[in-house]
A and B are shown apart, each in its own frame.
Chain A
Amino acid sequence: MGDIETFYRAGKDKLFGYLVRMTANHDLSADVMQESFVRYIEHYGSGPCQYSLLYRIARNVLTDHFRRNNRFTYMDDDVEDDCVTPEQTVVARDAFQQVLNAMQKLKPDDREILSLAAGDGNLSYQQIGEITGNSEANVKVRIHRARLKLREILKKGGA
Chain B
Amino acid sequence: MKDELISLFIDDELDLDEKTVFVETVHADPTFTNETLALLKQEKLLSTPLSINRPMPVGVTVLPSLLKRFWSFQIPFKALTVGLATAVIVIFVMQPETLLFRPKSQKLFHRFVIFEPGVQQAEIAGSFSRWKPVPMKSSGRNGYWEVTIELSPGEYEYSYFLDGKKSVADPTVQFGEEDDFGNINSIIRIGT
Q: Which residues of A contact B (CB under 8 A)?
A: 1, 4-5, 8-9, 12-13, 16-17, 20-21, 29-30, 33-34, 37-38, 41-46, 82-86, 88, 92, 95-96, 98-99, 103, 114, 117-120, 122, 124-125, 140-141, 143-144, 147-148, 150-151, 154
Contact = CB atoms under 8 A, between A and B. Distances in A.
Given A43-B65, A44-B65, A151-B38, A144 B49 contact: no
A75 to B, nearest CB: 16
B60 A13 contact: no
B163 interface: no
Interface in B28-76: 38-39, 42-43, 45-54, 56-57, 60-62, 64-66
B42 A99 contact: yes
Interface in B150-192: 175, 180-182, 189, 192
- The prevalent SS among residues of A at the interface is helix
Contact of B54 (A30, A45, A88, A151): A30
Contacts of A98: 45
13 contacts: A5-B56, A5-B189, A12-B54, A33-B54, A41-B60, A42-B60, A83-B50, A88-B48, A118-B43, A118-B47, A140-B8, A140-B13, A148-B39
Contacts of B124: none
Given A37-B56, A41-B62, A144-B7, A9 B175 contact: yes
A134 to B, nearest CB: 14
B52 A147 contact: no
Contacts of A38: 57, 60
Nearest to B3: A144
B4 interface: yes
A115 to B, nearest CB: 8
Contacts of B189: 5
B62 A125 contact: no
Nearest to A154: B42
Contacts of B51: 13, 16, 83, 85
A142 B181 CA distance: 40
A46 B66 contact: yes
Contact of A143 (B7, B38, B47, B60): B7
